[in-house]
Amino acid sequence: MKYPLLFLLLASWFGACTHRHDDFPKDFWDSIALHDSILLPDSLLQQGLHQAIAADDSFHTSLLYFLQGRKLHQDYFLLRAQECYEKSRQYLPADARPRLRMELDIAQADLCRFNHFAERETSLLDHALALALEEQDSLMLVRIGLIRNRHFKTRKEFARAMDELHRAGRFVGAAPPPHKAELLAEMAVVHLYMEQPDSALADIEQAVAVGAGRQSYYRALDKGIRFHLAHHDSALYYFRTIAEMFPLRRKAEAYRYMSETLHHRGKQQKAYDFLREHVRYRDSLEADKRAELLDKMHAIREYRQQQQQIEEGERQLTHRLLQVYRLAAVVFVLIILWGAHYIFTRRRQARLQRDLMQAQLSRQEAEIRCLREQEAKEQLEKSQLVQKVEYFRQLNEITIPLLMRSRTATGALHLSADDWQTLRNNTDTCFDGFTRRLKAAWPQLNDEEIDFCCLVKMELPLAVLAEIYHIAKGSISRKKMRLKEKIGITDISFDEFVAGF
């Protein structure tokens, strides 16, 4: 429900970028924190950005640059994302609410983590934490705590990671239940890293009791810890089940950690097996990183090519404007010369106008004659059409009695080959080679089907058709449907198709 809220808020900014940012509801700021994926189209963001810049609305300009950066970030266009984040900071007013500033710190910290700028990442997260503590923003404190916990956990500083989780835990009461459950689950994971399974079990039980968030993962982790406490070998099955729920990078780290743990416990064979799994996942991760790096290099090259194309377009536009100005100067000189010549040619134009009127009158008379001839031609065509219809009616009056005389001794109607040939000839005569055109258009039709089409074209009654084929009227209708499917007619009836063919 928060995506439609964000969309409607953006739509209202595009209409008028004059609202104060202090008046926006708190749900809007929550939507930025809770949703990492931006689903708004680029055209909508770009339209809002142009309007915000035109209205000199620095806050909304900053916000839209941030949303553009987030969208580029999630699509791994990292250089362009960093550029948008920097522009967002430049436009952000000093008196703006700190939530957007915290979001910028978190987003840029994620870029630093990807590029292995550890000191810059730590500095940005510390700044975001200081702002959240100053504002007592429980939602952001929990979120930043989880991010800093992952930061220290990656560096194997588990004690500091636990301190971050405990600090965030003081504010989790005002956070949504999924955040609370996720925080408790992270505490359980860090306790496992610190080889404190009892504390991990207590934390994961609380996460399950919350009843929100990734409950299937929490329950699987709960069972794994319980089996770990009871019997270490049985816990390996649940470790693999839980590890499959993580992304590839975290899965590789988990297998490496398990290998080190088993090695310290003297289980060399199992440690070696987990180490092989770690190497396999690490190789896959490195292959993905290489592919991602190539994609980024291609994206950078395309971005530079686009910039060059834009510059070339601007140069061409300048050249075209110069040509337009030169053309305008030439036209201006020509207008002056034409003005001087206008007085001299005024009388000549009057004579030409008179001649033109006479020519126009002659042309109109010719058009009237042409219209009369066309009308006479249409009347002739209508007369021929009426004669053709009358001939068709007379032909039916002759054909039907002939067909009715072709009965057997039992009274059944039976047409000979000559009768069918006569029927075809009459149909071709009336309808401009009907059978030949039909066979050329649909060569898959056999002679019997073409004869049936001729009977339908002659508009014979359904009862007569039933007598000719010695079947019921319903079978005649089904025969029409089969022919309709064979020819491929979908939008009109078979009778209408044959009548208009």
DSSP 450-495: HHHHHHHHTT--HHHHHHHHTS-HHHHHHHHHHHHHHHT--SS-HH
| CB within 8 Å of 259: residues ≥ 6 apart | 271, 272, 274, 275, 278
DSSP assignment letter at 22: G
Q: Are 49 and 64 in contact (CB under 8 A)?
A: yes
pLDDT higher than threshold 80 for residue 400: no
d(CA 140, CA 171): 10
Distance, C-alpha 328 to centroid of its chain:
46
Q: Are 168 and 146 in contact (CB under 8 A)?
A: yes
pLDDT at 396: 62
| CB within 8 Å of 215: residues ≥ 6 apart | 181, 208
d(CA 249, CA 475): 70
Q: Tell me which residue of 100, 28, 30 sits closest to 58, measured CA to CA.
A: 100
Q: Which two tokens stand for residue 383?
A: 């007369």
Neighbouring C-alpha atoms within 13 Å toward the C-beta of 264: 6
Q: Are 256 and 285 in contact (CB under 8 A)?
A: no
Considering only the C-alpha atoms of the chain, give the largest distance between any 2 of them, rounded to a whole number of Å: 117
pTM strictly above 0.75: no
Buried b / exposed e across 71-97, counting CB within 10 Å, b at 16+?
Answer: bbbeeebbebbbbbbebbbebbeeebe
Q: Tell me which residue of 234, 231, 162, 148 sits closest to 192, measured CA to CA.
A: 162
Please provide residue 407's backbone torsions phi and psi, each rounded to the nearest 5 degrees.
-105, 155
pLDDT band at 127; cut points 50, 70, 90:
confident
Residues 86-107: what's their mean pLDDT? 80
d(CA 184, CA 233): 25
pLDDT higher than threshold 60 for residue 15: no
pLDDT at 125: 79
Residues 235-262: what's their mean pLDDT? 64
Each residue's pLDDT tens digit, 161-203: 787 777 777 777 777 778 778 878 888 888 777 777 777 777 7
Q: Are 102 and 124 in contact (CB under 8 A)?
A: no
pLDDT band at 160; cut points 50, 70, 90:
confident
